[in-house]
Structure 1
């Protein structure tokens, strides 16, 4: 009877131990599975710079998602940061901005980690994706978001 109790105890400990270590790989590579929606709009509104910037930024391990929109000379980018890395928001924002300024010296780059900017850029991206906007309204909404970003800074 005593050996049966010891065997059951060992099986229980092994069962709990193996159950707790099974999902480590699924959390380690969360950026590999991140979806980047590339905005493909009609010819006058080219979003290739924004798409390239999103691909570059999403590779950073602390970034979980990114939204970006560009005009002829400006690039707006909003990043979503993993929960633990939110303590370093300003540092991450500064690193991303400096990397993008080096990559795109002809563009004025604005980066934000603010959730509101992320949502605003997501809406604007969706409008561009569905071709529900033209250059004039893009510029108007772009300037509104840019103004909001500067207020937060």
Structure 2
């Protein structure tokens, strides 16, 4: 008899705990879901132009790898240059800037760096943007910091 009462009480507790209250359903739309966050990011982040900028950078002689993020009106590109090509960094950056300027609208500001630390940070930011795991305010803040660091 005790087992039946205990089982019934346990079942009652589980069923009542799983029900959602009206207050919870009202609060849910106020929070941003992952889908909403991803939609907001897509308004700022331009993956198509970012991929195009990376491909352009990789075509330049001396550039081994490239990572790019296009957010709002800024194009930030970090490239890896190794070996004797490191002696030609200035000309590589200039050539890349000219090619990107021809391909993109004039409204974009172009930032280019060969700094390895910024390359890694920009790559991490791009991964987070693709995954949609970063808030729009935080992405803008990190991106602006990276752009500031690129110019010293």
For this structure pair, what is the TM-score category when the shorter chain's length is used for normalisation? 0.5 to 0.7
Tell me which residue corresponds to 1:147: 148
Task: Mark the structure with the bigger radius of gyration.
Answer: 2
Tell me which residue corresponds to 1:113: 114
1:68-121, Cα deviation, whole Å (9 max, x unpaired): 111121100000013220111111111111211122122100111111211111
| TM superposition shift of 1:130 | 1.9
SS at match of 1:138: helix
1:101-146, Cα deviation, whole Å (9 max, x unpaired): 1221221001111112111111111111221113221111100101
Q: Which has the higher helix share?
A: 2
SS at match of 1:69: strand
In the alignment of these two chains, the number of paired residues is 111
In 2: Cα distance, 1:79 partner to 1:109 partner:
13
Tell me which residue corresponds to 1:71: 71
Tell me which residue corresponds to 1:94: 94
SS at match of 1:78: strand
1:5-55, Cα deviation, whole Å (9 max, x unpaired): xxxxxxxxxxxxxxxxxxxxxxxxxxxxxxxxxxxx753333221111111
Gaps of 5+ in 2: 1-37
In 1: Cα distance, 2:60 partner to 2:98 partner:
14
